[in-house]
Amino acid sequence: MLFKIVIKLSTSKSSITNLPPGPWTTLIGNIHQIISSSMPYHCLRNLAEKYGPLMHLKLGEVSYKIVTSPELAKEVMKTQDLNFCDKPNLLLSTIFTYNATDIAFCPYADYWRQLRKICVVLLLSSKHVQSFQSIREEEVSKLVKSISTCEGSTAQCRSQRRKA
């Protein structure tokens, strides 16, 4: 089984000079090599066979490290997880989430751990989740009913969903 992990590189000078091997790039990076086939994962497999289990690709202006071996994937995800857990600092997410202070976009640090603890204790506790059981059951029955009324034509089903 072939595992693939894509890791975005930071744009610091030190990370650019110490890149793993990878194919040559053009103005659009390596996109042309990946989309040249109808099955991009075959292209990634072929590139991994040529450049090894850890390789560098550039998609547009963004650099990525591609991990294709289970051993290296375990190293990245388990042993070195703190080195790779940063989220990209995007302008849009910073604006929408009050300077990236929500649980989805804030950087991994004490503040994120506090937010996660609050979510787990208050929002995802079994008592709180059970309080919404009747709503979940109602929504599931609506979904089953809408699927059963759409028996046959997909066009008819689409028009019913638009009305709802």
The tens digit of pLDDT for each residue in 76-122 reads 888 888 877 777 778 888 888 888 888 888 888 899 999 999 999 99
Q: In the listed set 52, 85, 118, which residue is the last one of a domain according to the structure?
A: 85
Domain that holds residue 141: 132-163
161 confidence band (pLDDT: 50, 70, 90): low
Give me the long-range contacts of 28-36 (CB less than 8 A, separation at least 24): 28/60, 29/57, 29/58, 29/59, 29/60, 29/61, 29/62, 30/57, 30/58, 30/59, 31/59, 31/60, 34/59
Same domain, 70 and 138: no
Structural domain count of the chain: 2
End position of a domain, from candidates 85, 100, 117: 85
Q: What does the pLDDT look like over 61-85, one tens digit per residue?
A: 888 888 988 999 888 888 888 877 7
* Residue 149 banded pLDDT, cuts 50, 70, 90: confident
Q: What pLDDT, on a 0 to 100 scale, did the predictor assign at position 12? A: 46
- 33 assigned to some structural domain: yes
pLDDT for res 85: 76
